[in-house]
Amino acid sequence: MIANNLDILIALQNTKEKKRTFFYPFFFFPSKNRPGSDSDYDLLAFHAKTAKTSRVTIFTPYKLSSTSSSTDSDLLSSNFLYSIRSRLKSGKLNAADDVAVPDEAFLTELRDFSLQHAITNIEGQLEQGNIPDDQDDDVLPQGATDMGAEATIRFLKAKLRVMQEELDRIAQECAKKDEENSTLTAKLKEMEDERGRLYRTNATQQSQIEKFKKISEDAQGKSDSLENQLSGLRKELDQINRSQKQQLTSQNATEVRLNRALEEIERYKDQVQKAKLTSKETTDQEKKRVEQLLTENKRLEKQKNELMAGFKKQLKLIDILKRQKMHVEAAKMLSFSEEEFVKALEWGS
Model confidence pLDDT, tens digit, residues 99-146: 344 455 555 555 555 555 666 776 677 667 665 554 445 556 666 666
Chain centroid offset of residue 258 CA: 88
Block means of pLDDT (10 residues each) for the chain, 349 residues, are 33 33 37 38 35 34 35 37 45 40 53 58 68 53 69 83 89 92 93 93 92 91 90 90 89 89 88 75 76 89 88 88 86 76 73
Q: Which of 91, 6, 7, 107 is nearest to 48 (CA)?
A: 91
Residue 126 lies in a domain: yes
Contacts 24+ apart (CB under 8 A), 39-44: 39/63, 39/64, 39/66, 40/66, 41/66, 42/157, 42/160, 43/7, 43/160, 44/153, 44/156, 44/157, 44/160
Would 113 be classed as within a structural domain? yes
| Residue 191 maps to a domain | no
Task: For residues 18 and 131, state if they share a domain.
Answer: yes
Supply the pLDDT for residue 132.
54
Q: 19 with 123, same domain?
A: yes
Boundary of a domain, candidates 121, 139, 157? 139
The predicted pLDDT at position 136 comes to 46
Residue type, 226: L
Q: Classify 91 as helix, strand or coil.
A: coil
Residue 121 and residue 246 in one domain: no
SS3 breakdown of the chain: % helix, strand, coil, rounded to 5? Answer: 70, 5, 25
Inside any domain, residue 145: no
Residue 124 sits in the same domain as residue 228 = no
Inside any domain, residue 151 = no
Given this model, what pLDDT does residue 10 score? 33
Q: What is the pLDDT of residue 30?
A: 37
Where is 55: in which H helix or E strand? strand 55-58
Q: State the Cα–Cα distance between residues 95 and 20, nearest whole angstrom.
A: 8
The phi and psi torsions of 157 (rounded to 5 degrees) equal -65, -40
Buried b (16+ CB within 10 A) or exposed e, 137-149: eebbeeeeeeeeb
Per-residue confidence (pLDDT) for residue 198, from 0 to 100: 94
Residues 247 and 130 in one domain: no
- Domain encompassing residue 310: 215-348
Residue 201 lies in a domain: no
Q: How many domains does the chain fold into?
A: 2
Q: Is residue 150 part of a domain?
A: no
Give pLDDT, residue 204.
92
Of 139, 170, 185, which residue sits at a domain end? 139
21 and 120 housed in the same domain: yes
Residue 178 lies in a domain: no
Q: What is the pLDDT of residue 13?
A: 32
SS3 of 238-255: the string is: HHHHHHHHHHHHHHHHHH
Predicted local confidence at residue 304, as pLDDT:
87
* CATH code of the domain in which 310 resides: 1.10.287.1490
pLDDT of residue 129: 64
Last residue of a domain, one of 117, 139, 161: 139
